[in-house]
């Protein structure tokens, strides 16, 4: 008689060999009830001898846990997500959880979100991936969610992690105006309904008003926080017969700055001699651009790490609510017109 393969050994076979009930084996596998030390040792040895591999789906069904957390984003098109994912993975490592990433834009398809209560124990939601209504519905079901770069809907206590945008934009704009004498500053908006872009634009408008500089709608361009979108938008602006004068550009993100710099180069507009340029995020490539990019250093990896820690707290029934707002700082490089790299705080 041949020995059963590891694929054909069942939980009943293990229980019979160990002289215990199927329920005891289930409790041992799922750690959802006490099992004596002696029984645990016996079960461990029997499973090893029989080459028994627990069926993941059966374990999940029994425990009502998937051992998976999800991240739902609207796209993964640029380098911004690398440090964010590094922060998430740093927390997951060493835990008995898998990590699922999915892209989704509500309303673009008649399909439900690919990540949710049906396949994950909890979710990180980036920016505007779901509507407030969908979030409220999930929150009502007590499904664990932590928002990333987005504040929670009104009257909910969904925890959130984001970065400071308005104050730092004010500081950056003041640097353009007071250090370099700029007054015709282009502001490149991010994606529609994106909170980071909203707060940055508030900072932009605040500084113009505080310095008695008229707001000009023609200096507001769509950058989309994306190099291709920013390039097309800047190229269209520069090629227009009705182009207005400008002397600086706040690109809204480092990724968008790549597209902006390319468009300026094609029109032989020198940076920083003719036009100052600044980004946001301080991604790894920012200091290697030509010229090196003045930008806002955002703690993107820390955002991912803290958001994931807060999600695990929810999964372990610890109370988490409110918004964590992480500080940002300006990093000065040559693209704004300064000669030496430094922090604006130095």
Over residues 177-204, the mean pLDDT reads 96
Q: What is the pTM of this model?
A: 0.80
151 in any annotated domain: yes
Which position has the token pair 């029989």? Answer: 50
Are 211 and 306 within one domain? no
Q: What is the pLDDT of residue 344?
A: 61
Cα 130 to Cα 67, 77, 107, 133, 306: the distances in Å are 23, 18, 9, 8, 21
The CATH number assigned to the domain holding 235 equals: 3.40.50.2300
Are 122 and 43 within one domain? no
> Does the structure show a pLDDT above 70 at 315?
yes
Which residues of 207-300 form beta strands (DSSP E)? 220-222, 248-250, 276-278, 295-297
Are 88 and 234 within one domain? no
Question: For 115-140, how does the pLDDT look when each residue is reduced to its tens digit (9 = 90+)?
Answer: 888 899 999 999 888 888 889 988 88
> Does the structure show a pLDDT above 50 at 38?
yes
Q: How confident is the model at residue 141 (pLDDT cuts 50, 70, 90)?
A: confident
Q: How confident is the model at residue 105 (pLDDT cuts 50, 70, 90)?
A: confident
Are 185 and 283 within one domain? yes
Are 310 and 272 within one domain? no
243 in any annotated domain: yes
Are 226 and 92 within one domain? no
Are 288 and 315 within one domain? no
> Does the structure show a pLDDT above 70 at 7?
no
> Does the structure show a pLDDT above 80 at 44?
yes
6 in any annotated domain: no
The CATH number assigned to the domain holding 50 equals: 1.10.260.40
1 in any annotated domain: no
| 131, 105 Cβ separation under 8 angstroms | no
Across the beta sheet with 342-343, the strand order is: 295-297, 329-332, 342-343
Could you give the number of structural domains in the chain? Answer: 3
- Residue whose C-alpha is closest to residue 100's, from 83, 88, 84: 88
Q: What is the mean pLDDT of the chain?
A: 90
Are 151 and 191 within one domain? no
39 in any annotated domain: yes
Question: For 208-267, how does the pLDDT look when each residue is reduced to its tens digit (9 = 90+)?
Answer: 999 999 999 999 999 999 999 999 999 999 999 999 999 999 999 999 999 999 999 999
Are 92 and 142 within one domain? yes
**More confident of the two residues 111 and 145:** 145
DSSP code of residue 178 = I
Q: How confident is the model at residue 109 (pLDDT cuts 50, 70, 90)?
A: low
Q: What is the pLDDT of residue 5?
A: 46
Q: What is the pLDDT of residue 2?
A: 44
Are 175 and 237 within one domain? yes
4 in any annotated domain: no
> Does the structure show a pLDDT above 90 at 203?
yes
| 203, 170 Cβ separation under 8 angstroms | yes
For residue 64, give the 3-state DSSP assignment: coil
Q: What is the pLDDT of residue 110?
A: 61
Q: Give the range of the structural domain holding residue 307, as residue numbers without chain letter.
A: 68-163+301-327
What percent of the chain is helix, strand and coil (3-state, nearest 5)? 40, 15, 45
Q: Among 15-19, 30-34, 83-87, 272-276, whose mean pLDDT is lowest?
A: 30-34
Q: What is the pLDDT of residue 75?
A: 85
Question: For 48-66, how does the pLDDT look when each residue is reduced to its tens digit (9 = 90+)?
Answer: 888 877 665 455 545 568 8
Question: For 257-309, how does the pLDDT look when each residue is reduced to its tens digit (9 = 90+)?
Answer: 999 999 999 999 999 999 999 999 999 999 999 999 999 999 999 999 999 99
For residue 165, give the 3-state DSSP assignment: coil
> Does the structure show a pLDDT above 80 at 3?
no
268 in any annotated domain: yes
Are 293 and 176 within one domain? yes
5 in any annotated domain: no
Are 99 and 138 within one domain? yes
């Amino acid at each position: 008689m041949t020995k059963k393969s590891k694929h054909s050994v069942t939980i009943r076979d293990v229980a019979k060999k160990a002289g215990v009930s199927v329920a005891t084996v289930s409790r041992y596998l799922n750690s959802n009830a006490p099992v004596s030390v002696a029984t645990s040792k016996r079960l461990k040895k029997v499973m090893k001898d029989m080459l028994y591999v627990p069926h993941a789906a059966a374990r999940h069904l029994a425990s009502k846990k998937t051992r998976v957390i999800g991240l739902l984003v609207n796209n993964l098109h640029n380098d911004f997500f690398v440090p964010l994912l590094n922060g998430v993975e740093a927390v997951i490592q060493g835990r008995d959880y898998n990590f699922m990433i999915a892209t989704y834009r509500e309303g673009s398809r008649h399909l439900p979100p690919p990540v949710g209560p049906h396949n994950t124990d909890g979710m990180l939601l980036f920016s505007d991936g779901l509507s407030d209504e969908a979030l409220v519905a999930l929150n009502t079901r007590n499904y664990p969610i932590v928002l990333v770069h987005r504040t929670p809907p009104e009257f909910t206590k969904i925890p959130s992690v984001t970065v400071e945008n308005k104050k730092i934009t004010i500081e950056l704009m003041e640097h353009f105006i007071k250090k370099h004498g700029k007054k015709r500053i282009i502001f490149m908006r991010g994606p529609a309904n994106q909170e980071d872009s909203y707060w940055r634009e508030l900072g932009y408008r605040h500084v113009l008003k505080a310095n008695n500089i008229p707001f000009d709608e023609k200096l507001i361009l769509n950058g989309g926080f994306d190099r291709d979108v920013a390039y097309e938008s800047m190229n269209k602006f520069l090629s227009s017969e009705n182009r207005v004068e400008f002397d600086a550009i706040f690109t809204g993100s480092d990724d968008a700055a790549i597209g902006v710099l390319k468009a300026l180069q094609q029109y032989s507009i020198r940076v920083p001699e003719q036009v100052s340029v600044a980004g946001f995020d301080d991604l790894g490539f920012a200091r290697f651009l030509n010229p090196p990019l003045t930008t806002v250093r955002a703690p993107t990896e820390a955002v991912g790490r803290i958001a994931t820690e807060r999600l695990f707290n929810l999964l372990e029934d610890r109370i988490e609510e409110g918004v964590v707002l992480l500080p940002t700082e300006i990093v000065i490089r040559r693209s704004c017109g300064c000669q030496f790299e430094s922090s604006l705080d130095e």
